[in-house]
């Protein structure tokens, strides 16, 4: 009696002993996964090396520019003050200047993977001159 009540409760709760079987007419399900990366200095260096190689640019130069621009901080906002006294809207490792890049969000700018890829791509297009610290290397 008890086992049949438990079995009935399991079926009602969707925990029946019979496994669910996918039917041919069912659509496949898409599952989005969010992966957290621990952005240590070593992991940042590895990402710079990977993206520099992918875009054919200099990893040592990217590292020097990032160190100069953000001291390796992934979430930093520029301390530079505009004429009106407000802080410049440059964020993250690569100090992406948001007013010049309206397609980039603040969340993207402070995402190290995005920022490093953005910098590598811009360098590959000949746009390294956009970074003040790159100019200082010359």
53-91: pLDDT as tens digits:
999 999 999 999 999 999 999 999 999 999 999 999 999
Domain boundaries along the sequence of the chain: 41-131
pLDDT, tens digit, 9 for 90 and up, residues 12-49: 444 555 555 555 677 888 887 777 779 999 999 999 99
User: Is pLDDT of 102 > 70?
Assistant: yes
Confidence of residue 5 (pLDDT cuts 50, 70, 90): very low
Q: CA-CA distance, 41 to 44, in Å (whole number)?
A: 5
Q: What is the pTM of this model?
A: 0.73
């Amino acid at each position: 009696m008890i086992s049949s009540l438990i079995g009935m409760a399991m079926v009602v709760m969707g925990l029946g002993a019979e496994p669910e079987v996918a039917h041919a007419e069912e659509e496949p399900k898409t599952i989005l996964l969010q992966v957290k990366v621990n952005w240590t200095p070593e992991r940042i260096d590895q990402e710079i090396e990977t993206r520099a190689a992918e875009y054919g640019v200099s990893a040592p130069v990217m590292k020097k520019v990032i160190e100069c621009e953000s001291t390796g901080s992934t979430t930093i906002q520029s301390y530079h003050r505009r004429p009106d006294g407000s802080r410049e809207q440059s964020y993250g490792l690569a100090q992406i200047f948001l007013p010049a890049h309206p397609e980039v969000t603040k969340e993207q700018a402070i995402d190290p993977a995005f920022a490093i890829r953005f910098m590598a791509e811009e360098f590959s297009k000949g746009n390294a001159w956009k970074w003040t610290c790159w100019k200082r290397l010359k």
